[in-house]
Amino acid sequence: MKAAKSEFQRTNPNLCGADDLIRLNDLTVHNKIGDTEVMSKKKLQRLAELETFPNVFQLQKELQGNWNRLVFKNSNPITLELACGKGEYSLAMARKFPQRNFIGIDIKGARIWRGAKTAMDEQLINVAFLRTYIDHLPEYFLQDEVEEIWILFPDPYVKKSKENKRLTSSSFLKRYQQIIKTDGLVHLKTDDNQLFQFTLETLMQQGAKIIFRTSDLYSEDLPDEILNEKTFYEKMHLANKKTIKYVKFILK
């Protein structure tokens, strides 16, 4: 049975693809009223500015397989930060590792604006931002184009009915396999024990190789210096006395 069209689809007949939800995300900002009007204008301004930022890419699928050639102008390894928000980790890694390329990925344009603006202000040429949904990654990257993936404090989607939305569910792991190099590393940091246990179980089912895991990251010596970097949300979780879980693995 053919699904009925939404009000948005009826009023915007030329926008029907999943990526067009990006435009829907932008259009809904126009509908804010009352106390949020000022915030909406600020968001609209930032969304407009994104179109002019040289380090932000939206709906540009021609970059698939061409990130190093067209964007970074080098052959350095590429690391992705998924659901990057304001790109704090991408920026930290770009500062620390100038011989690597970093791409922060998120659907929230106003958040990406902050990371992209900071990168331009600091003249960080080894970091870029891609505005898209995570499940569209294979449309923007070819097999073996990515060397490393970081997933930092993603939405745990606590309801079992939504576990397929978790960024470490089998459906997402299969997408990562389509773009990451053989023996490429994937990292997860989370404060959510349910998500952590779900991830470990899923990795076992998928035959992934777990390189390192801990249910209390800062109770022992860190296996990697970069783990000292903390995002806003991680600092908030630590301030609330939550323990940070971490796992590093290779998809097989």
The alpha carbon of residue 141 and the mean position of all alpha carbons in its chain are separated, in whole angstroms, by 14
* Domain presence at residue 232: yes
List, for residues 75-111, the tens digit of each pLDDT value: 999 999 999 999 999 999 999 999 999 999 999 998 9
- The span from the CA of 83 to the CA of 33, in Å, is 28
- The span from the CA of 227 to the CA of 195, in Å, is 19
List, for residues 178-218, the tens digit of each pLDDT value: 999 999 999 999 999 999 999 999 999 999 999 999 999 99
Q: Which of 19, 135, 144, 155 is catalytic?
A: 155
* Domain presence at residue 228: yes
* Domain presence at residue 18: no
* Domain presence at residue 26: no
Stretch among 14-18, 41-45, 106-110 having the lowest mean pLDDT: 14-18
The residues near 152 (Cβ < 8 Å, ≥ 6 apart) are 81, 82, 83, 84, 89, 188, 189, 231, 233, 234
- Give the domain range for residue 77: 56-250
Residue 56 burial (CB count, 10 A): 23
User: Is the CB of residue 187 less than 8 Å from the CB of residue 234?
Assistant: no
The residues near 19 (Cβ < 8 Å, ≥ 6 apart) are 59, 132, 133, 136
CATH of the domain at 231: 3.40.50.150
221 in active site = no
- The span from the CA of 153 to the CA of 106, in Å, is 13
* Domain presence at residue 123: yes
* Domain presence at residue 25: no
pTM of the model: 0.85
Name the domain count of the chain: 1
* Domain presence at residue 122: yes
List, for residues 208-250, the tens digit of each pLDDT value: 999 999 999 999 899 898 999 999 989 999 999 999 999 999 9
Tokens 């630590």, located at residue: 238
Sheet containing 180-190, strands listed edge to edge, beginning at the edge strand earlier in sequence: 56-58, 127-131, 101-106, 78-82, 146-152, 180-190, 245-250, 209-214
Q: Which residue from 162, 148, 251, 149 is spatially nearest to 206, judged by alpha carbons?
A: 251
